[in-house]
Amino acid sequence: MGWRAEDIPSQDGRIALVTGANIGLGLETVRALAQRGATVLMACRSRRKAESARMGLIKEGLNDLDLLDLDLADLNSVATAAETVKSRYGQLDLLINNAGVMAPPRQTSAQGHELQFAVNHLGHMALTTQLLPLLEAQRGARVVTVTSGVQYFGQIRWDDPNWQESYNRYGAYSQSKLANVMFALELNARLVADESSVRSLAAHPGMAQTNLQPTAVLSGGSRTEAIVYQLMQPLFQSAAMGALPQLHAATAPTASGGEHYGPGQLGGMRGAPGRCRVAGAALDPDQRQRLWTMSEALINTSAARD
């Protein structure tokens, strides 16, 4: 039998922040960390959905849960959330960059960035860099950024990362998920170079039953897409199984900075977590640094404009 949620070491005294915590992989991550003793900050964009998810967990006997308002599509909300964590807790041991949006019709964030690049990548990068001082103060702190198997098909559109021209819903999703793993590995390289004690890892869930695909199919309005999704349904594993790679990356004593975890079976689509292949672009330090610089500029220009 592979690694399970029961294998998570005690998290007593630790504080974890999970983005997109009200449903899907985020909710499973909150449940597993709270069951092992962590205090978990459920960072969500909808207070109503967050409260309802928290009430469900409280009914299961999990009480050490707090809510944090966070809309990753607005960098001002990201900054406010980071400030709230600093002033309310002054401590952070685990940051799980989990929230995500897949394949909507072209939309933009509050700062005008393509929505998937903004929510999945830029918002998480801004959140992480603003929370790093808190993580630095803790022993063994980790950042886990959730990517996807589509990273292998992704490309960074260096000249048009916001897809102002010829928007492709899945192309933009793949770009954002490639950016996730590039960010995770580049962050780790920078932390190591700075002799920081914090470590950054990446994880992907394979294919898991959550709201992600149904929402994407609905927003696409394509019959073919709906049929393909129906045909693939039997391959999907539970959300609890899908959350294991990110939980393993966040808590397993054997996991180290710069590693990437995913399900170990069926070409990385299902099964217990294990180390897995990283997209070529994320192994290339030049491309990683280029993405970092470009993303920093997009985040900072937005901040200057607001």
Ligand X SMILES: NC(=O)c1ccc[n+]([C@@H]2O[C@H](COP(=O)([O-])OP(=O)(O)OC[C@H]3O[C@@H](n4cnc5c(N)ncnc54)[C@H](OP(=O)(O)O)[C@@H]3O)[C@@H](O)[C@H]2O)c1
State the minimum distance, in angstroms, from the CB of residue 197 to ligand X.
26
Tell me whether residue 36 or residue 204 sits nearer to ligand X (CB atom): 204
CB of 230 vs ligand X, minimal distance in Å: 15
Please tell me the number of Cα atoms within 13 Å of 74 on its side-chain side.
11
Binding-residue total with ligand X (CB under 6 A): 32
**Active-site residue, 173 included:** yes
Q: Is 119 in the site for ligand X (CB under 6 A)?
A: yes
DSSP state at residue 115: H
Please state, in angstroms and rounded to a whole number, the distance separating the CA atoms of residues 186 and 210.
Answer: 29
CA distance 192 to 189: 5
Residue nearest to ligand X (CB): 24
* Contact call for residue 8 and ligand X (CB under 6 A): no
Question: Using CA atoms, how far apart are residues 89 and 233, in angstroms rounded to an integer?
Answer: 41
Of the two residues 34 and 212, which places its CB atom closer to ligand X in the complex? 212
Residue 302, interface with ligand X (CB under 6 A)?
no
Task: Choose, by CB under 6 A, the member of 41, 81, 94, 99 that binds ligand X.
Answer: 99
Q: For the beta carbon of residue 56, count every other beta carbon within 10 angstroms.
A: 13
Judged by CB under 6 A, the residue of 128, 148, 188, 200 near ligand X is 148
Number of residues that make up the chain: 306
Question: Cβ distance 134 to 90 under 8 Å?
Answer: yes
CB 113, CB 107: distance < 8 Å: no
Q: Contact with ligand X (CB under 6 A): which of 68, 122, 146, 181?
A: 146
DSSP three-state, residue 143: strand
What distance in Å separates the CA atoms of residue 3 and residue 198, rounded to the nearest whole number? 23
Which of 41, 208 has the CB closer to ligand X? 208
Residues in the site for ligand X, rule: CB under 6 A? 19-20, 22-26, 44-46, 49, 70-73, 98-102, 119, 146, 148, 204-205, 207-208, 210-212, 215, 242
- Catalogue the active-site residues: 173
